A and B are shown apart, each in its own frame.
Chain A
Amino acid sequence: MTVSAIEFTRLGAPKLHLFAMKCDKCKELSPWWERSHCYKCGHDTLTEFELAGKGEITNYTVVYYPPREFLGQEPYVVGHILMDEGVTLPAPVMGVAPDAVEVGTRVAATLRRMKLGHEGDIYYSYKFVVDDDPAPKKAAPARRAAAKKPAAKKPAAKKPAPRRPAARKK
């Protein structure tokens, strides 16, 4: 889990700016780390696809024994979040007691401190908090609808985040 500060400037973008990768051929969405080929059809060209930042918990675990960089946060909840656009991302869920997590809970992305690096530096990334807004109409394709509405709860710092990480150290 150790990431150097230099490496983070290279790998940081998806942690500060929420997107998925969309297959140019079959349009399947994959998590942002699938940049080389589409997991569904194998096509090798994918394009970044902005996510609105909302979804629901489909699976979760509670981490009681964290790696060093997460020490002090335990026990913490990590969920599989099915984004409204149809891609699943693993991420911490904040503000829910470990014994009160429920599959189906609506959540929204927010930018938070993720962990302390081994050089004492602070890493930020997306986490999720419980979302009080109602779910988008189930059957309707949530994709466009969700994208139109500006995500109110996102912290100002990250909404128009550039593709390149803003967190580059001086």
Chain B
Amino acid sequence: MSMRVGVLGIGKTPHKIQHEKSLKDLGVEAGRKAMADAGVDPSEIQMLYVGNVGSVGFNYENSTALMAAHHLGVVPAGAVRVEAACGTGAWALHLGCVAIASGLYDTVMVLGMEKMNDLATVEGTSIIAQAADSKEEYFSGLTFPSGTALTARKYMQAYGVSEEDLAHTSVKNHFYGARNPSAHLRFECTVEEVMNSPKVADPLKLYEVCPMTDAASALVLCREEILRAQPNRPQVYVTATSMASGTWYQASDTLDDAYNLFHRPATRAYEMAGVTAKDIDVAEIYNSFAIQEPLGIEGLGFAKMGQGWKGAKDGSTWLDGKIAVNPSGGLLCKGHPLGATGATQAVDIVEQLRGTAPEGMQRADAEIGISACRGGPGSVGAIHIYQRLEG
């Protein structure tokens, strides 16, 4: 089936540590920005899908979709919170797209939000570990960084890739992160600096790991006719949404599994949108740890297995390369506010297709974009394709 869901409005908060703001404050800020951008009143929102992973742990509050509905003034619209590990924000977007595509609703809001810095890093690490089998597999003392470190070493072993080779991914992300006013980490770095940054979980080093971030991002989605009726607005549509699950265990997550986590839903998404990997101008690919970017590049079909790391080194995944991968700086620089991340990726791609990305980040003439979000040890893959489709 083909699908066209209009993106009427977008909004996001800065991505950083924000001690002065609550989870509620962040959600309201992003939601209001998206409604203002869309030119809609809260009363026009018919359904609110909130992506939020860890409020019970991070903030000691639950039912955060109902909280957001009240404070955004969208009552009595239905509101629900969705959770699928780090794929949460993308899942909220999926539900929003399904709601519009089904014909049941005209206008809905998707809101991803997370407030991770009310607790110390050590507590946050434990909460994040609950997105894996923390009672059994991660009882061994594994954490998300160290679990992913095992994947990184597997990749290095299988393809004969060095730590220096992989470090180029962080260099590229930080080059753009330094230009992203919304990013948490805004500095450039060299391969040498990546290599010399402190070890987090060998072989992963600090510059290959995303920070814990407080942020929210929102989109107002609508039926195609509604956006068509406003030709002065940027005509950006979500043309594919495709979800998958994968393995729940690091120990059994092979490189093939990691590939398939994106390959399977991406294949369906390309079919749904009627495009191929070659048509994509710009991609936001989940990289809470640097190694996930090359894995994602391969899963999306931009490079063969074992070759995904090369683009950051030879330039082909830089802004003016064959395809621009993570011109936002990726999660490595934006940070990874768990439930917000998938929504932030969407907002960033929409900015690209509108031509309103910040200076130094805008892919020239971007018409087709893709976002790929993942979560758990290898547990959720989420693909969205976006297109600028003038009248």
Contacts and interface: CB of A to CB of B under 8 A. Distances in A.
Interface of A: 1-3, 7, 11, 14-15, 30-34, 39, 59-71, 73, 75-76, 78, 80, 88-92, 98, 103, 114-115, 123, 125
B232 interface: no
A118 to B, nearest CB: 9
Contact of A89 (B125, B143, B251): B251
A17 B133 CA distance: 19
A66 B153 contact: no
A98 B133 CA distance: 25
Closest 6 CB pairs of A and B: A61-B149, A62-B202, A67-B126, A33-B136, A61-B146, A90-B140
A65 B122 contact: yes
Given A65-B121, A73-B141, A39 B252 contact: yes
B157 interface: yes
Interface stretch (B168-176, B193-201, B219-227): B193-201
Contacts of A114: 139, 141
Nearest to A39: B252
B249 A65 contact: no
Interface in B156-207: 157, 198-204
Interface in B108-167: 121-123, 125-126, 129-130, 133-143, 145-147, 149-150, 153-154, 157
Contacts of B130: 1
B120 to A, nearest CB: 9
Contact of A78 (B134, B146, B157): B146
B163 to A, nearest CB: 13
Contacts of B202: 60-62, 64, 98
B88 interface: no
B341 interface: no
Given A31-B137, A70-B141, A80-B150, 10 more contacts: A15-B139, A39-B252, A60-B153, A62-B201, A63-B146, A78-B140, A78-B146, A80-B251, A90-B251, A92-B141
A61 B126 contact: no
B106 to A, nearest CB: 42
B250 interface: yes
A90 B200 contact: no
B127 to A, nearest CB: 9
Contact of A62 (B140, B199, B249): B199
